[in-house]
Structures are given as structure tokens and as C-alpha cells.
Amino acid sequence: MRAMAAIIASAAVAASAAAVASAASSASSDATPLWPAVIGFVGVLIGLGVNTGKDVVFARSKRKADEVYLSIMVGAYLSQYILKCFAIANDDGRSNDPWHDDSDDERSAQVKEPEFKPLEMQVEWKVLSAQLLFDIMDIPHEQKRIEGSIYGEFVMNDDRPHHTEAFWKRREMWAYHGLRVSEIADRLRKLTGLNPSGSVEGDWTVDDGLREAIEKVKEERRLRDERVTAYKAAQAARGATPLV
């Protein structure tokens, strides 16, 4: 409709210009005043300018509204996704049942992997920059790569029943992934001036928890390596062959 209005307005301008030219030609023969034709021509130009200005303002207003809606809706989904990343980053395969001693049980994942399906969301993705759009759309693919790597660790590193190495890798990779998604969510919120991470400055954030989870895995590895080193040293001191 706007395109048709622009065509009609352009035709009107052309017609008015022709009328002015015709009036000027006639004025040379019968001295007819030019001002009525000039006023009409100027009126058409003003009308065209007003319509064009309205279209520009409408387009900008719609784009801003689309940005705000996308930022809020997608940001909310990503916040839930990041919380799941945090839960996985703290999942070592043990159940949280206080009445059951599972120290010798086969460990398995207690937290299910989250799902993020951006193509099913009814938002105007075109308002985003190419890089930000790519990063959001790549989240599910990055998750698949993580899951494939972790699956390989569970298969290749058979340290049953605890699967310690595999769970360390799972916790660490999901923590790093959560931080990556959080950075994307912050960039999305900044488009509309929303508070990054949705928290008050100085408060504990999920990002803090993800970094703590990474440090916890590193500390557990360090303690394990110390125990292995001490064991080997003790075996060597007795002249025995270490079993690890």
C-alpha cells in the first residue's frame, strides 16, 4: 500500500510539474498568473514529504518495537537455558537422595540437557546484526558438538562406576558453554538498554556460579593428582609396582 501511495504521489508531482510548465507556456501568450499552479505544485510536494516522513517514522518505530520484543523474549529463553547449564556444571552423577548411600553405585547424569529452538520462535530475527544472529542460531549446534565430545569421553574412558573423568569434562564444558551463551544474551539485552545478566551490580550471578563450577572441577582434579602422586611415591618407597 505504501509503495502504491508513493507511485501515486510521484505521478501527482509529475502531473503538477507538467501543469506548471503548461501554465508558464500559456502565460507567455495570454499573461495568465502562475501562482495557482505553483501553489498546487508546492502542495503536492508537501503532501509527498509528509507521507514519506510518516513512513520513515513508522518503520523506525516498528523496528524498535521488534528489537524490544525480541530482546525480552529470546533473553528470557536464554536465561532459562543458562540456568540449566549451571545445573549440569554442578552435576557429578550422584543422586541427591539423603536417605540413600550411592557411593558405590553406577553414576549417571541427574540433570537433562536443555533445549533451545530459535527457529520456532515468532520474532523478527532480521533486526539483529549478522554476527549476533549467527551466534544465537549456532547455540543448538554448539550444544550438539559438546554432547558428542562428552559421549565419547564416557565411552572411551571406562572408569566405572563413578565415571569421574567423563563427569569432570561434562561439568566443565557445560560451564564454559553457559558463559558463552550468557555473553550472547548480554549483547542481546544491550540492544534495547536492558540490564546485562538481568541483575543488580554486585549481586551474585549465574555467571559467578559457572566460574565457581569450573574452579571446583580444577580443584578436584588437582586433589586427585596429588593423591595419585602420593600413592606412587609410597609404592616406590616400598619397592612395589604402582597399580596406577
In this prediction, residue 6 carries a pLDDT of 47
What is the per-residue pLDDT for 121?
95
Instruction: Please indicate, yes or no, if residue 33 is contained in any of the structural domains.
Output: no
Rounded Cα distance between 107 and 12, Å, is 78
pLDDT of residue 155 exceeding 90, the answer is no
When divided into structural domains, the chain yields a total of 1
Among residues 145, 186, 22, 170, which one has the least CA distance to residue 89?
Answer: 170
DSSP label at 3?
H
Domain carrying residue 138: 61-237
| SS3 state at 243 | coil
Q: Can you tell me the mean pLDDT for 107-127? A: 94
In this structure, how many other beta carbons lie within 10 angstroms of the beta carbon of residue 124?
13
3-state helix, strand, coil in the chain (%, to 5): 75, 0, 25
- Confidence class of residue 182 from pLDDT cuts 50, 70 and 90? very high
Contacts of 154 by beta carbon, 8 Å cutoff, 6+ apart: 163, 166
Query: Does some domain include residue 134?
Result: yes
Considering the entire predicted model, what is its pTM? 0.72
For residue 198, being part of any structural domain is answered with: yes
- pLDDT at 89 (0 to 100): 97
12 domain residue, yes or no: no
Q: What is the pLDDT of residue 165?
A: 93
Specify if 207 maps to a domain: yes
| pLDDT higher than threshold 60 for residue 28 | no
- Mean pLDDT to the nearest integer, 110-115: 95
| Contact between 107 and 161 (Cβ < 8 Å) | yes
Please check whether residue 110 lies inside any domain of the structure. Answer: yes
If you ran DSSP here, which 8-state letter would residue 163 be given?
A: T
Is the per-residue pLDDT at 233 higher than 50? yes
226 Cβ neighbours under 8 A, 6+ residues apart: none
Residue 128: CB atoms within 10 A of its CB come to 22
Q: Is there a domain that residue 135 lies in?
A: yes
Angle ∠(121,128,69) on CA atoms, nearest 5: 50
- Residue 91 forms part of a structural domain: yes
The answer to whether the beta carbons of residues 195 and 205 sit under 8 Å apart is: no
d(CA 45, CA 43): 5
